[in-house]
């Protein structure tokens, strides 16, 4: 089997599995061009196996905790919003039921009002009719009393004068 080499002719170390050892980008670039000045912190570069074996820095840990906290906060916010919307829906349903009940009561009160109004109008008309009859009866009585006076005494010309 041939030994794998980089383009610059330097050999790559081969593992027992037959695959090459993973390199991070900076070491490959350094092998290709040794004059290149990689960043001062090559340990900060991300490669697949280094990422899995690497101990998270305190900044990464804070970032991870903040991300988890933000997700949890967003979840709680969504739950609050959902509860608020459900409360508003319940309130709308309750207010609609109250509105229907008030409307029904208003309809009943209006029905009774119109019935009482008709009865009151009927009673007022009956009262006016009875008052008129009473006046008519009073006039008849006064007229009869006058007739009785005239028939018993012929003093009407003195009363008129």
Q: What is the pLDDT along the chain (161 residues), one digit of tens a residue?
A: 444 555 455 555 555 555 555 555 566 566 666 655 544 444 444 555 555 667 879 899 999 999 999 999 999 999 999 999 999 999 999 999 999 999 999 999 999 999 999 999 999 999 999 999 999 999 999 999 888 888 876 655 555 54
Residues 121, 65 within the same domain: yes
Separation between Cα atoms, residue 26 and residue 32, nearest integer Å? 10
| Overall size of the chain counted in residues | 161
State the residue for tokens 């390199």.
Answer: 23
139 and 74 assigned to the same domain? yes
Distance CA 112, CA 106 (A): 10
Q: Is residue 9 part of a domain?
A: yes
Tell me: do 83 and 139 sit in the same domain.
yes
Residue whose tokens read 């509860």: 83
Q: Are 70 and 113 within one domain?
A: yes
Q: Is 98 helix (H, G, I), strand (E, B) or coil?
A: helix
Domain boundaries, position 14: 1-54
How far apart (Å, rounded) are the C-alpha atoms in residues 24 and 8?
16
């Amino acid at each position: 089997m041939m030994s794998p080499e980089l383009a610059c002719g330097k050999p790559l170390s081969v593992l027992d599995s037959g695959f090459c050892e993973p390199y991070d980008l900076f070491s490959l670039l350094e092998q290709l061009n040794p004059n290149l000045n990689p960043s001062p912190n090559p340990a900060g570069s991300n490669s697949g196996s280094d990422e899995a074996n690497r101990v998270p820095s305190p900044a990464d840990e804070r970032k991870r905790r903040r991300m988890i906290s933000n997700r949890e906060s967003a979840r709680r916010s969504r739950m609050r919003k959902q509860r608020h919307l459900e409360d508003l829906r319940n309130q709308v349903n309750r207010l609609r039921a109250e509105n229907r009940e008030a409307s029904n009561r208003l309809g009943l009160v209006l029905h009774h009002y119109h019935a009482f109004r008709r009865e009151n109008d009927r009673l007022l008309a009956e009262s006016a009719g009875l008052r008129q009859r009473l006046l008519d009866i009073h006039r008849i009585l006064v007229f009869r009393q006058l007739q009785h006076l005239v028939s018993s005494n012929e003093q009407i010309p003195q009363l008129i004068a």
